[in-house]
Amino acid sequence: MALAVVGDAAAVTQLIGQAIGLVAMIIRAVKTAHQNRLECQHLACSVSTVDGVLSNLPRDQEMAPPLKVLNNTLEEAHRMVIACQNRGAVSQFFGSRRHADCFNQVNNRITSDIVILNLSLNSYMARQHFNQVLHPNHIGTPTATIAMAPWPGFSSGSLQTQLVVVSQPQVSSISSDNPRALTWSEIAAATSFAVELGRGNSGRVYKGRLQFQFHFHHGTEVAVKVLEKHRRQGMEDAFMAESNILSGLRHDHIVRVLGWCAEQEYRMLVYEHMGNGTFRDHLQHLGGGPSSSPVTTSWEKRVEVLLGVARAIHYLHRGADPLVIHRNVSSSNILLDANWTPRLSGFGSAVFQAAGVEEHGGQLVEEVVGTPGYIDPEYSGTHRVSTASDVYSFGVVVLEALTGRPPDIYGVTLGLLVDSVLPSVHNGKLRDVLDGHPALQPTSRQLEALDLVAYTASRCLCPRGQNRRLAMSDVVANLHRALQIIRSN
């Protein structure tokens, strides 16, 4: 066993040395490139950040697979720069593809490879923590971790990131909740890809049960999102955004990512399974409609769910580190566990908040993303996203909870729930649009609470976001008050 460990350490050391050597070769080659000099210099900046990270990695076999992938990408980057040293070679190498596109793709792949390396390192550190708990005299202490910090203007479209090596002397700070790497065969054994829970823009979600001990629990039920391969760059963007952002979040009302798979061309994310489906399922009785569920039949439960989600969004905006804008808040991205506790999910479009941009109308993003019917019209028109954009989307969810109606009634913009319901709210005729499933005749106290909920929604849905929509802290306070009123009935 000792020899095997030594062999693994030597192999990882060799991979690290190979990567450091490739970085040096790329930087040297850039100095003599005659074609595409600007793109080559940008590539040199990207790879130079990798160098400091590599020397601090632990010599553990878990680092080997992502290091091999990174080395393959660096080798391709080196070939690209070498081809740029004369005109004939560059034309032959790039063929009919645009040079700038090729450089963008390899830059994004380097960023993706570092994200995967970061996840592997977190998994290694969690394993070291368990070993230290089980064997207190265990001396293997990780020395560093890679923090992914956003540059101003960071978005899943631009994928601009800064790699920072952070000293980590105390292993006790590592939680047992850290996600871990899983192989394709482990995921296939868990799911057989047989029971599909749903599908979205980025891929399909399957139900599974892990066939090995995971976080001290054997047979953990999971939901596995398999990202679609037909849009390679979009798949990488979604994988990087969701894995990088979610792995750093800890909140009772945010879904947990348990693991991931980045084997060959596959990109998968593994979450805790939510046994009661989505909030949307219960509001609109989809898939055979759980008509007797507490969400369907109880105003108290609906407001409880809204309050939990509001707390999660408030945490993203003011409590997470770094701060996050979700960009796709919808009833379909609110999951309910076996105890009916809501968990916010769907982080594939999320972005880190760039410092200081909230005061300037939000941060500019390349693409407007989200679910039709929930998207903030101001964000849609300006391509500037802010925390107010999440507030608007949440306001639509609140109207959906009050009325039981879908956000986009006729499938066209003329049928938006906001346009059909807000006039009744503003005119004091909320009862005309209330869903009848929880109670055909709400009590006076219930109506008082629901009036407060509807008022909160209307303040979330102001056409102009900056300084006019409620902050999520105020939304939380209002919903908490409404829940107290209902419970005092």
- 429 carries a ligand binding annotation: no
Report d(CA 450, CA 467) in Å as an integer: 24
Residue 352 β-bridge partners: 324
Contact (Cβ atoms closer than 8 angstroms) between residue 388 and residue 401:
no
d(CA 42, CA 389): 32
Task: Please report, for residues 10, 114, 157, the alpha-carbon distance to residue 350 in angstroms, rounded to integers and kept in the order given.
Answer: 39, 19, 10
Round to whole Å and give the CA distance between 209 and 297.
Answer: 31
Residue 305's contacts (CB-CB under 8 Å, 6 or more residues apart) are 279, 295, 334, 336, 340, 342, 401
What's the 3-state SS for 128-192? HHHHHHHCCCCCCCCCEEEEEEECCCCCCCCCCEEEEEEECCCHHHCCCCCCEECCHHHHHHHHC
Residues placed in the known binding site? 225
Residues placed in the known binding site for ATP? 225
